[in-house]
Structure 1
């Protein structure tokens, strides 16, 4: 009785609720991947990993619309907001439709490039792309208005539906096919729209002043460029490994990447809170560096703990998460965690400056994203070498971001 009274007296803020929700979503997504890894085995899991990587690529592409929506939802009010949000929905659906059709049309080519067992899985995935873009704009509204409770619900519905639908299809149909994985992903896009405010959608022509159009366009272009660098840095290694290595090795590497990237997925939670906070502080004329330092401290502490854990108990971690079939990746686990930790901290710098409309760090990220790809293409004699190339690229990226921060801080 006393415990219930204490819990009622301590109100959980929407930000805290969102952070707890993100932890639950990341946990659910990890469970989803772990189950697939155990059920399918390394070779078949390599195909599933391609679809999961495509999902991550899609999420970064759609994140452009989400961040643009979030930022200008905070800055625009009343009629201007209504015109803006309706226009964004129109453009997001058009871009999503374009990407979706491209994936469907080039499905056989994608099968050949990534050595998958099916082209149908790309067709099914492509059909859901326009829905995902609409879902991202919907989330952007919630993020910009700091409606973190509703934002949490959309991530929860997406994650749980993907997990449950996929498992149900595998158990009922007893088919271990990548097409089943694609159907589960498509279903999650539909459920991820919940809750959806249809009143924000309009097919009427929207009127926005040239000044506002220019501001929106500039932020959209630079954000799209940065999300492209995110796609390259986060996903190029898995796709390149799938291209250069046999399916068995690619499946082993996919399990390594999944475990090592837990640092980035946790960092993403702080990025979602960072952008609206920094934009609001800038709008109010207040200093913003303290927010950056706070989130860097969080990510650095979490990263160090994960790297130490991966170094100390690599075999135990892999056995618990994926099983003995993936144990060969144990020596590389802490190294991959180092690479993702370096990137996660660099990412906080980039999003911080993106919130302040300073775009040089975004260009820096793009340069080092291409460097990572070039290094992996040039040096891929072994999976160990692939991981080493990523550490080199991400270490250089972090050093340059820190140097830029110190240089601009002195000028300020």
Structure 2
């Protein structure tokens, strides 16, 4: 048996191991959401959906630090790398504390804005924000250095602790569900820090980073922050707007729809994690980068088509199995939401590809269409079906333009 296990380890590459791990983590996160949907009524689940959406928003915001760390972990080495990492950690802590304090101070206003049952859940969540930014920089190091087993461990620890603690607290104690969920999220950030090297924060022999490098870091940070903002808008604004414009029961129904429809995006994220350091390394070595883009776009397209076909063929069965009969009224919209998410997932690969190459026009395009999607939902929200239709329009247009930009850039390279 030992010989068989060792043989399998040798056959599975670190990238394949990471993909398997990400699928397991996404499965665990999905199970976490599904169990909450089963345990809570639609109105209560809408509160949980706000917290989960805040977690996604936080992950996108902190992703700026993770991607900057990942990219320059590939480019910098030795003492310069250590100096850079120490500086990034300190900046991340400052930003995390500022955002966390803002969330805590605005907790009452957030409760009113999103029609939640409690403001305490925002206070608890705000306390965890600095930890998440530390965790993201730590992950950026692993991502850039391709220490994929350590990277997998941080995601697994975060997912498992949140799943077990939250569900355990809800089942064992009679505590307000939204606060319990926030506590589970906070504690999961602590587990997600593992493994962590504290010496990277307090590195003393700091080298001054050259002006050219500082400019490159600043430019990449700004454009990445802008793109992550567009990710927040595209991926989360619909749930928050629905929570604002619709009654809690309808918002809870929509949250279940969004959770199922977004599975393609969650699966696609593992390819994004592998794409950036790979493209940066290929560019550094002067090698062709387009084939890696084609490879990952092909994977995501195949996954998307499979999920959409399943949503068209068995919508009521999928919703009934995952969330129960209380949510089956969303069945007709399931494939439509999956279509919108699929278009976004594929567009996302193009944007991160160009972000890795320091080409920012596709990133700006994503920002424009993120605002378009939010604007369309703000204007057209007579019912949940109309909300989904607005997202399909915005995402199909975004994908068409991203593909067009890629084709034009490839033609220019051939003619150069």
Which category describes the TM-score, using the shorter chain as reference length? over 0.9
Question: How many Å separate the matches in 2 of 1:343 and 1:357?
Answer: 21
Question: How many Å separate the matches in 2 of 1:148 and 1:203?
Answer: 24
Question: How many Å separate the matches in 1 of 2:61 and 2:335?
Answer: 29
CA shift, 1:314, in A, is 0.2
Secondary structure of the 2:151 match is helix
Asked whether 1:112 is paired with 2:119, we answer no
Contact (CA 8 Å) 2:82, 2:203: kept in 1 or not? Answer: no
Contact (CA 8 Å) 2:83, 2:203: kept in 1 or not? Answer: no
Question: How many Å separate the matches in 2 of 1:171 and 1:292?
Answer: 45
Contact (CA 8 Å) 2:166, 2:180: kept in 1 or not? Answer: yes
Partner of 1:30: 30
Secondary structure of the 1:235 match is helix
Partner of 1:180: 180
Change in 2 beyond 3 A, CA 1:404/1:11: same
Please, what TM-score do these two structures have when normalized by structure 1?
Answer: 0.98
Secondary structure of the 1:146 match is coil
Question: How many Å separate the matches in 2 of 1:9 and 1:79?
Answer: 33
Question: How many Å separate the matches in 2 of 1:53 and 1:171?
Answer: 23
Please, what TM-score do these two structures have when normalized by structure 2?
Answer: 0.97
Partner of 2:210: 209
Question: How many Å separate the matches in 2 of 1:378 and 1:8?
Answer: 54
Contact (CA 8 Å) 1:40, 1:176: kept in 2 or not? Answer: no
Cα distance per residue 1:96-148 (max 9 Å; x no partner):
00100000000000000000000000000000000000000000000000000
Partner of 1:368: 369
- Farther off after superposition, 5-14 or 119-128: 5-14
Question: How many Å separate the matches in 2 of 1:80 and 1:5?
Answer: 39
The within-5 A match list for 1:88-167 is 88-167=88-167
Partner of 1:60: 60
Unaligned runs of 5+ residues in structure 2 are none
Question: How many Å separate the matches in 1 of 2:313 and 2:11?
Answer: 38
Secondary structure of the 1:410 match is helix
Partner of 1:227: 228
Partner of 1:76: 76
Change in 2 beyond 3 A, CA 1:6/1:173: closer
Aligned length: 412
Partner of 1:236: 237
Secondary structure of the 2:116 match is coil
Asked whether 1:279 is paired with 2:250, we answer no
The within-5 A match list for 1:250-265 is 250-265=251-266
Change in 2 beyond 3 A, CA 1:120/1:9: closer
